[in-house]
């Protein structure tokens, strides 16, 4: 039984947002012992106190903790972790010295094996609760959800650093935002970044400080340097530096470029993106090449990619290969199929598919990404792939009206999932197989339910840990027509 701790203050003088909250089994600012029964989508512990749910950051499943209630809704509340009374065997000391300040990682205090189990459970829970789907193990004939594909070394896996620049006590700083704020935590090393990214960011910050380049102030809109972005090719060691500035010209701009060239061996490209808007969006609309090439190169498997300043490229190339090979396996290609790749980006999945398909049609709303996709097809001498700019939910129905049919459809939508019009068209096209790549288990489960009701069966699901030590999980689902 949970025991209440702390003083028994009279509550008659306390204000509550609603009279209904007075009848809750917990009250704001009081302390309680909570049993932690799971993890929430943001990595916080899901606690129970007298049957009431409290979300408690830092707590882990299987633990008993002392918590102070800091916020209440009618059906749940929020607690602050005060003490771990009974400790989970999966709890470890987070190796990052600023883990409790930085909002970049959420699960470093959970062992990597525990992270993988947790992420698989997130996928299973979404399929069962949101999609109302049967998972093997909970029914005789259910969807096989494989163990999460993890990394042998889940550190230094990121090939891109996006570092906001600001000012503290008159000095230029750059790092990551503190949890739930836009307060910049200055840092020189991040344990999930490739070490060359850390080195280059540190060098650029030091040069900018020495040259007196003014950091951008989000509140006033003054200053120049807003972000420093570094991209690195894991296989090629190519380095790109992107300087996001408020305006095109600023003091010591040429000297900054010159010193970056001298300080960063292997740099192939220095670009400037101009963002004059009062916004927290990183990129503006205009990008110039200040020195070198407009792209760097990298490989996923044996497919070569050109990466520009603004092009989307998966940040974990090791696990990206695992993800795409899984998608290719689920597509079941024999060499003659027509494949549609929705949300194709710069053509990463499309080019993997094209090597084993008859023809691949890719569609993407971002024109720059399609330009990169076409360049990447030429780079790999692939001529059985074509790309179109537009919304997948508009272009693919137009293709169908023009007589284009698909044996396999692959979708890799944003977090909000597929648009209803796209799902309707996929069902109407009746491809033999559908491969759904997802970064959001909740919208994946929702869309799988629609596809199942439309005549498809989800055969198996493979979660892939693209972002160790964070709450994020990528998933590949393989579906086939029920009458196939």
Maximum alpha-carbon separation in the chain: 76
Q: Give the separation between CA 439 and CA 411, rounded to whole angstroms.
A: 11
Q: Residue 354 in contact with residue 385, Cβ under 8 Å? A: yes
Element (H, E) at 480: strand 474-481
Which candidate, 369, 322, 317, 319, places its Cα nearest to that of 342? 369
The 8-class DSSP code of residue 432 comes to S
Cβ pair 136, 128 in contact under 8 A: no
Specify whether the CB–CB gap between 157 and 213 falls below 8 A. no
- How many C-alpha atoms does 22 have within 13 Å on its Cβ side? 9
For residue 439, indicate whether it is catalytic: yes
Active-site entry in 271, 344, 439, 480: 439
Kindly provide the b/e burial profile for residues 415-427, where b requires at least 16 CB atoms within 10 angstroms of the residue's own CB: eebbbeebbebbb
Find out whether 158 and 313 touch, Cβ atoms under 8 Å: no
The DSSP element (H or E) to which 422 belongs, if any, is: helix 420-429
**Other CB atoms within 10 A of residue 176 CB:** 20
- What residues are annotated to the active site? 439
């Amino acid at each position: 039984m949970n025991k209440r701790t702390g003083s028994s203050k009279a509550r008659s003088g306390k204000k509550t947002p609603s009279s209904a909250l007075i009848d809750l089994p917990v009250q704001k600012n009081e302390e309680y012992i909570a049993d932690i029964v799971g993890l929430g989508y943001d990595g916080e512990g899901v606690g129970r106190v007298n049957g009431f749910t409290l979300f408690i950051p830092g707590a882990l499943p299987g633990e008993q903790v002392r918590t102070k209630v800091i916020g209440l809704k009618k059906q749940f509340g929020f607690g602050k972790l005060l003490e771990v009374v009974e400790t989970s065997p999966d709890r470890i000391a987070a190796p990052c010295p600023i883990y409790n300040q930085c909002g970049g990682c959420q699960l470093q205090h959970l062992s990597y094996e525990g992270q993988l189990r947790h992420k698989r459970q997130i996928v299973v829970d979404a399929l069962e609760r949101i999609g109302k789907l049967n998972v093997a193990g909970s029914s005789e004939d259910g969807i096989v959800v494989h163990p999460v594909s993890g990394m042998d070394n889940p550190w230094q896996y990121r090939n891109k650093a996006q570092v906001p620049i600001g000012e503290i006590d008159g000095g230029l700083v750059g790092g990551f935002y503190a949890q739930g704020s836009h307060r910049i935590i200055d840092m020189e090393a991040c344990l999930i970044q490739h070490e060359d990214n850390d080195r280059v960011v540190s060098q650029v910050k030091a040069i900018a400080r020495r040259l007196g380049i003014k950091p951008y102030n989000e509140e006033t809109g003054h200053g120049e340097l807003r972000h420093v972005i570094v991209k690195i090719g894991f296989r090629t060691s190519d380095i790109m530096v992107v300087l996001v500035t408020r305006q095109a010209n600023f003091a010591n701009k040429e000297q900054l470029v010159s010193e970056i060239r001298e300080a960063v061996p292997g740099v192939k490209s220095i670009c400037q993106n101009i963002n004059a808007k009062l916004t927290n969006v990183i990129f503006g609309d205009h990008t110039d090449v200040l020195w070198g090439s407009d792209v760097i190169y990298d490989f996923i498997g044996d497919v070569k990619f050109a990466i520009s300043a603004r092009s989307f490229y998966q940040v974990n190339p090791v696990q990206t290969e695992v993800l795409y090979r899984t998608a290719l396996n689920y597509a079941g290609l024999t060499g003659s199929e027509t494949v549609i790749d929705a949300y194709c980006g710069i053509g990463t999945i499309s080019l993997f598919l094209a090597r084993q398909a008859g023809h691949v049609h890719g569609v993407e709303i971002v024109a720059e990404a399609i330009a990169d996709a076409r360049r990447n097809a030429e780079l790999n001498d692939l001529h059985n792939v074509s790309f179109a700019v537009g919304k997948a939910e508009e272009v693919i129905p137009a293709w169908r009206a023009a007589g284009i049919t698909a044996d396999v459809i692959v979708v890799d939508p944003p977090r909000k999932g597929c648009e209803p019009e796209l799902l309707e068209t996929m069902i109407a096209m009746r491809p033999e197989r559908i491969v759904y790549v997802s970064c959001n288990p909740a919208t994946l489960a929702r869309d799988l339910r629609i596809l199942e009701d439309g005549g498809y069966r989800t055969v198996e699901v493979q979660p892939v840990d693209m972002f160790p030590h964070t709450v994020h999980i990528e998933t590949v689902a393989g579906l086939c027509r029920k009458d196939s």
